Amino acid sequence: MTEIDNLQQFLYRAGHPLETALAQPMGKKEARKRLAALVDEFAELQERLYASDRHSLLLVFQGMDAAGKDSTIDKVTSGVNPAGFQVFNFKKPNSEELDHNFLWRCWRAVPERGRIGIFNRSHYEEVLVVRVHPGIVASRKLPDRRVDESFWQRRFDDINAMERHLANNGTRVLKFFLNVSKDEQKARFMSRLDNPEKNWKFSHSDLDERGHWDAYQYAFREMLSHTHSEHAPWFAIPADDKRSMRVIVASIIVKELKKLGLEYPSPDPADVQRYQEARERLNAE
């Protein structure tokens, strides 16, 4: 049984309403065709999002190292106007960030109306990496450094409150857990080591974190169970087949953007008159 199977069975046993995107692996040609069509739709919807200036979209990507987060973001947004979105990569927090609450650095990066924000890793690192390495808490400037179940529940509550506030104010939050298997992660690490052109992608710290695989699987299950909601859903996507994964991610984004009913703003009568005058001036040249 694979780790993906374990995750799905865990969710089914728990009776949790997590929306799970599954699909049969597709051929390279079919995947390329479907993704291209979805990217075109995404680009058109992004233009409406920007023009209407009433909603924003926040896409959160989480997963183990080598799950395909970078390449998925790159491929899915390949046809979208780069002026319409921003990608943020959240690494180890710096001293300024540690002087604020754990949501601060992500909070100030949320997209304004009309824009798309993409978090490559996110505030969820605080219930993933920190949970796997609870000693991190001891180095933080917190009034209470006791790490128990109530500590994690408070963090889940804070995250849920933040995402509900965003939803109440027009930001649609979509969260993608790219669920790569342990065997596939090993294969991708080996590929980085064997190919000189990919050596730069390999990090010894990634290999160290692989040694905590079971702890991360537990942390992901806890994260999914406590922070999936209607206003900020998680989509758990098998990530061993990158082509299928990218198509699934793009299809979910397009589907969710369509739900917003985005429309181009209608000009007021005064604007219509000015447009006619502009047209006449251009024709007179």
Q: Give yes or no for residue 16 having a pLDDT over 60.
A: no
pLDDT value for 184: 96
Strand, coil or helix: 262: coil
pLDDT value for 185: 96
Q: Give yes or no for residue 133 having a pLDDT over 80.
A: yes
pLDDT value for 271: 79
- Band (pLDDT 50/70/90 cuts) for residue 15 is very low
Q: What does the mean pLDDT of the chain come to?
A: 90
DSSP-assigned states of every residue in 20-61: E-------HHHHHHHHHHHHHHHHHHHHHHHHH-S-EEEEEE
> Residue 180 has what DSSP assignment?
-
Of 1, 76, 7, 11, the closest CA to residue 238 belongs to 7
pTM: 0.89
**What's the order of all strands across the beta sheet hosting 116-120?**
19-20, 234-238, 171-179, 56-63, 116-120, 85-89
Q: What is the mean pLDDT of residues 150-166?
A: 97
Instruction: Report the phi/psi class of residue 204: left, alpha or beta, with left for phi > 0 and alpha for psi in -120 to 50.
Output: alpha
Higher-scoring residue by pLDDT: 1, 39: 39
pLDDT value for 265: 86
